[in-house]
C-alpha cells in the first residue's frame, strides 16, 4: 500500500489495467542522453531585486561586464521653492552604491575603475529592459578626477560625519554636477519627479578596467530597493548659517526605472571548451555550459524514450543527474539552483513535475556530491504516453536576471561522471 501511494500519478487511468494481485517488480535502467550548449536570449533585468556593477574575466567564459542604468528621483516636491537660493555653494557630490547583504558580490574584490555617465534618453516605466539593451549616454565621465579607481569592501561600514552607514562604494562626482543641481533649486526642474526626469534623465554606472587577467575582478551586488543607493549633494548656504552643512539626496530605489546592461567577450576565455561546444553542437559533449544574464543554456534530449514505451511497464521514477565538472574556483561558485524548462512555441514552459511549485522538481546544488538532481518522472511518462512532444528540455541557471553565476557541467560524453537519466520501472 505504501508503495502504491508513493507512485500515485495525476493521470487517473494510469495502471488501471493491472489486475488485483498481479505481480509487480522494479527494474532500473539508464537511457541515452544528448546535450549541447547554445547562446541564451537576452533576459529581463529591469525592476528586479538586485542590481549589478563590475567586470571579471572567467577562464572558461571570458569577460562579463555589468552596468547599472537607472533614474535618479527626488525625495520631495518643490525643492528650493520660496527661498533665496543665491547663496548656495556646492561642497561635494557623491554616488553611493549600497551593497546588498549578506550576498555582496560574485568574484574577487580587486580594484575597479568606475565610470558614471548621464543618460541622453529617458527611461520608461512601461518598458521592459533586457540584458542586451545598451543605453544612449553623453560622453562625459561624471566621476571626479582620479576618483574612479576604488577597491570595494563590502565588509566595512562607511562613515560620513557622525553617521555610520552600511557597506557601500562611494564614488566622488564632479563638482560641476552638484552646481547644476543647486542652480535648479526653486525652478520648475525640481518641482516634481516628472519635471526632474526631463531635466536629468538618469545615469549609467559602469567600469572601465582595461585588460584583466583570469579570476581578476568581480560583480558587485547593489541594493536598489532601499534608500542607501543615491547621489548626495553636500552644500552650504553662505547667506544663511554658512557653518551648517546641508545635503540634497537623489535616490535610486524601487520608484526608479533601473536595469542592468550586460557585455561579454568570449574570446578572452583561456580554456577552449565553450568555443568548441558552440562550434560543434552535434559532436561529443564531455562538458556543457551554463551562464546567467543571457549567457548560455544547455539543451538535453532523450532519443530512446519512445522506444521504451509499453513493454508491460510504467515509469515509477525518472531522475536526471547532472554532475559539476570537477572542482570550481571558490569565488566563481556554480548556481545554487538550476531550472528545467521545455519549449512551448518559443516560450519557456514548466515541466509537469513542477505543478507543485518550481522547486518540487529538485535542481538544488549538492555541495557534498557536486551534483544537481532532478525528478522528471511525470515529464518522462507523458513523453512516453505521447501526451507531451519528444522535444527535450533545457537547463537554465537560476536567478538569471540578478546573478553572475556560471557553471561548467558534465555532458553525456564525460569519461567518468557523465550526465545521465536513471529510470526506475514498475513491471507487471
Can you give the residue ranges of every domain in the chain? 17-42+267-427, 51-256
- In this structure, are residues 363 and 337 in contact, taking their beta carbons and an 8 Å threshold? yes
Measured CA to CA, the distance from residue 299 to residue 55 in angstroms comes to 27
SS3 track for the chain: CHHHHHCCCCCCCCCCCCCCCCCCEEEEEEECCEEEEEECCCCECCCCCCEEEEEEEECCCEEEEEEEEECCEECCCCCCCCCCCCCEEEEEEEEEEEECCCCCEEECCCCEEEEEEEECCCCCCCCCCECCCCCCECCCCCECCCCCEECCCCCCCEEECCEEECCEEEEEECHHHHHHHHHCCCCHHHCCHHHHHHHCCCEEEEECCCCCCCCCEEEEEECCCCCCCEEEEEEEECCCCCCCCEEEEEECCCCCCEEEEEEEEHHHCCCCHHHHHHHCCCCCCCEEEEECCCCEEEEEECCCCHHHCCCCEEEEEEEEEEEECCCCCCCCCCCCEEEEEEEECCEEECCHHHCCCCCCCEEEEECCCCEEEEECHHHHHHHHHCCCCCCCEEEEECCCCCCCCEEEEECCCCCCCCCEEEEEEEEC
Residue 255: HSE in the Cβ half-sphere, 13 Å Cα cutoff = 12
pLDDT for 161 equals 84
Reported CATH class of domain 17-42+267-427: mainly beta
> Would strands 362-366 and 203-207 be described as parallel, antiparallel, or unpaired?
unpaired
- In this structure, are residues 342 and 393 in contact, taking their beta carbons and an 8 Å threshold? yes
pLDDT for 2 equals 39
Measured CA to CA, the distance from residue 360 to residue 363 in angstroms comes to 9
pLDDT mean values, one per 10 residues, the chain (428 residues): 38 40 61 95 94 97 98 96 95 97 96 98 96 97 94 94 92 98 97 97 97 95 95 96 96 96 97 96 96 97 87 85 94 95 91 73 94 95 92 96 96 96 86
Measured CA to CA, the distance from residue 58 to residue 52 in angstroms comes to 17
Measured CA to CA, the distance from residue 98 to residue 230 in angstroms comes to 8
pLDDT for 6 equals 40
pLDDT for 162 equals 83
pLDDT for 312 equals 73
pLDDT for 3 equals 36
Longest dimension (CA), the chain: 98
pLDDT for 346 equals 86
pLDDT for 4 equals 36
Amino acid at each position: 500500500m505504501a508503495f502504491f501511494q508513493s507512485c500515485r500519478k495525476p493521470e487517473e487511468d494510469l495502471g488501471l489495467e493491472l489486475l488485483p494481485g498481479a505481480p509487480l517488480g522494479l527494474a532500473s535502467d539508464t537511457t541515452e542522453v544528448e546535450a549541447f550548449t547554445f547562446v541564451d536570449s537576452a533576459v529581463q533585468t529591469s525592476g528586479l531585486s538586485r542590481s549589478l556593477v563590475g567586470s571579471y574575466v572567467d577562464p572558461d567564459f571570458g569577460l562579463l561586464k555589468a552596468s547599472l542604468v537607472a533614474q535618479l528621483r527626488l525625495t520631495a516636491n518643490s525643492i528650493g521653492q520660496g527661498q533665496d537660493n543665491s547663496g548656495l555653494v556646492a561642497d561635494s557630490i557623491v554616488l553611493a552604491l549600497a551593497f546588498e547583504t549578506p550576498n555582496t558580490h560574485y568574484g574577487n574584490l580587486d580594484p575597479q575603475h568606475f565610470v558614471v555617465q548621464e543618460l541622453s534618453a529617458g527611461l520608461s516605466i512601461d518598458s521592459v529592459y533586457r540584458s542586451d539593451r545598451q543605453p544612449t549616454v553623453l560622453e562625459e565621465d561624471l566621476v571626479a578626477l582620479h576618483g574612479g579607481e576604488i577597491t570595494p569592501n563590502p565588509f566595512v561600514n562607511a562613515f560620513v560625519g557622525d553617521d555610520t552607514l552600511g557597506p557601500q562604494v562611494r564614488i566622488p562626482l564632479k563638482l560641476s554636477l552638484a552646481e547644476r543641481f543647486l542652480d535648479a533649486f526653486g525652478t520648475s526642474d525640481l518641482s516634481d519627479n516628472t519635471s526632474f526626469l526631463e531635466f536629468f534623465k538618469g545615469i549609467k554606472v559602469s567600469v572601465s578596467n582595461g585588460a584583466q587577467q583570469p579570476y581578476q575582478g568581480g560583480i558587485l551586488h547593489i541594493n536598489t530597493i532601499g534608500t542607501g543607493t543615491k547621489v548626495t549633494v553636500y552644500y552650504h548656504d553662505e547667506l544663511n548659517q554658512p557653518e551648517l552643512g546641508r545635503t540634497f539626496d537623489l535616490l535610486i530605489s524601487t520608484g526608479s526605472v533601473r536595469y542592468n546592461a550586460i557585455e561579454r567577450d568570449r574570446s578572452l576565455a583561456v580554456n577552449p571548451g565553450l568555443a568548441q561546444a558552440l562550434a560543434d553542437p552535434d559532436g561529443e559533449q564531455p562538458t556543457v555550459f551554463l551562464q546567467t544574464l543571457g549567457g548560455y543554456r544547455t539543451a538535453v534530449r532523450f532519443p530512446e524514450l519512445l522506444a521504451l514505451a509499453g513493454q508491460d511497464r510504467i515509469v515509477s521514477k525518472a531522475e536526471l543527474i547532472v554532475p559539476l565538472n570537477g572542482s570550481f574556483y571558490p569565488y566563481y561558485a556554480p548556481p545554487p539552483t538550476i531550472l528545467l524548462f521545455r519549449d512551448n512555441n518559443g516560450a519557456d514552459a514548466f515541466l509537469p513535475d513542477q505543478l507543485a511549485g518550481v522547486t518540487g522538481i529538485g535542481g538544488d546544488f549538492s555541495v557534498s556530491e557536486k551534483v544537481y538532481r532532478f525528478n522528471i518522472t511525470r515529464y518522462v511518462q507523458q513523453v512516453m504516453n505521447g501526451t507531451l512532444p519528444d522535444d527535450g528540455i533545457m537547463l537554465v541557471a537560476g536567478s538569471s536576471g540578478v546573478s553572475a553565476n556560471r557553471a561548467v557541467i558534465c555532458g553525456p560524453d564525460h569519461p567518468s561522471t557523465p550526465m545521465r537519466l536513471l529510470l526506475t520501472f514498475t513491471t507487471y
